[in-house]
Structure 1
Amino acid sequence: MSEKSIPITNPVAPNPKQLRTYQPTYRLEPKKKFDRDVVQRIVERILVEELHEVEYTEKAEKLIPDLCLTLADTIRSAVKEENYDRYRIIVAVTIGQRRQQGVQIFHSFLWDHERDSLASSNFENPHIFANAVVYGVYLD
C-alpha cells in the first residue's frame, strides 16, 4: 500500500494535523517468488542438524510434540529470513518411530498453482523418521 498524507485544517487550531490514508497497490505478483529449491535446502539442513542424534525412547516420546513445534518454528523463521513478501508460510512437521511400518501423509489445499508452492523434506535415522512440509501461499 502506498501512503498519502492529507492535511486537516481546523480554523481554531493553529497547527494542521496530517491524516494518513493508504491506497491499494493492485500488485498481483510477488517481488520475490517462493523458491522451492532454496526452501527445501533450508528444511533439509535444519532436519539433519536437529535430528541426527535423536532416539525414540519412552522418555523421548513425551518430548516429540514439543520437538515438532520447535522444528516448525525454526523452519518458519529460517524461511521468513528469505523475505518472500506477501507469502504466508505454513509449516507441518511429523515425527515418528521407525518400526518397519509404512506412513502416508496427506495434505489438501485449494490454491493458485502459479503463485503458491511447497517444499518438503524427509529425514531418517535408525530410530526415527521425520517429514517437514513448507507451504508458501501467496496473499494478494
Structure 2
Amino acid sequence: MNNFIVNRSSHPFNSHEVKQILEQIVCPAINRQTDYDSLKCIQLSKDLSQIIKDAMKLLNYDRYKYVIQVVLGQCHNENLMMTCRCLWDIQQDNYVSYVYSNEKIFCAVTVFGLFYY
C-alpha cells in the first residue's frame, strides 16, 4: 500500500488579492494611453506582464509558478471573446482574469497560479 502525501501550500494563491493587484497596475497604465498605437502596445504588453510578474513574486505565495497573459487592443465598440483550457490541480491551482478599457484601448489580463510539486 502506497502512502500518498498531498503537498499543500502554507500560503496559497489568493484570487481576491491578485485581482486587487491587477486593478492597481492595469488601470493607471491604460489610462495613460491617449491613443491606440500597435507598436507602443507591443512594448506596453511586455512591460505590464513584467510588472505583474514582479508584483506576484512580492506576494510570496509558497511554491507557485505564474503564467501571465496580457492582451491589448483598440476599442471599436466590438465584442471580443477569449477562452483557455488548462489541466491542473483543482485543489491548489487557480487563476484571475481582469479586463479594463477606456475609450481608445482595452486590456485583458489573466494570471495563472500553478502549484509546483
TM-score (norm 1): 0.77
Q: Which runs of 4+ in 1 moved over 2 A?
A: none
The match for 2:54 among 71, 74, 77 is 77
Q: Is the 8 A contact 1:118 1:136 kept in 2?
A: yes
Pair 1:115-2:92 in alignment: yes
Q: Identify unmatched segments of 5+ residues in structure 1.
A: 1-25
The match for 2:22 among 43, 48, 58 is 43
2:116 maps to which residue?
Answer: 139
Letter in structure 1 aligned against 2:61: Y
Cα shift readout 1:2-30 (whole Å, capped 9, x = no counterpart): xxxxxxxxxxxxxxxxxxxxxxxx77001
More strand by share: 1
Q: Secondary structure at the match of 1:94?
A: strand
Q: Is the 8 A contact 2:71 2:109 kept in 1?
A: yes
**Based on CA coordinates, which of the two structures has the bigger radius of gyration?**
1
Q: Secondary structure at the match of 2:99?
A: strand
1:53 maps to which residue?
Answer: 32
TM-score (norm 2): 0.91
Cα shift readout 1:58-110 (whole Å, capped 9, x = no counterpart): xx221111110110010111011000121001110001000121101111110
Letter in structure 1 aligned against 2:16: D
How many residue pairs were aligned? 113
Q: Identify unmatched segments of 5+ residues in structure 2.
A: none
| Greater relative contact order structure (CA < 8 Å, 6+ sep) | 2
Q: Give the 5 Å matches for 1:15-54.
A: 28-54=7-33
Letter in structure 2 aligned against 1:61: S
Residue identity over aligned pairs, in percent, reads: 25
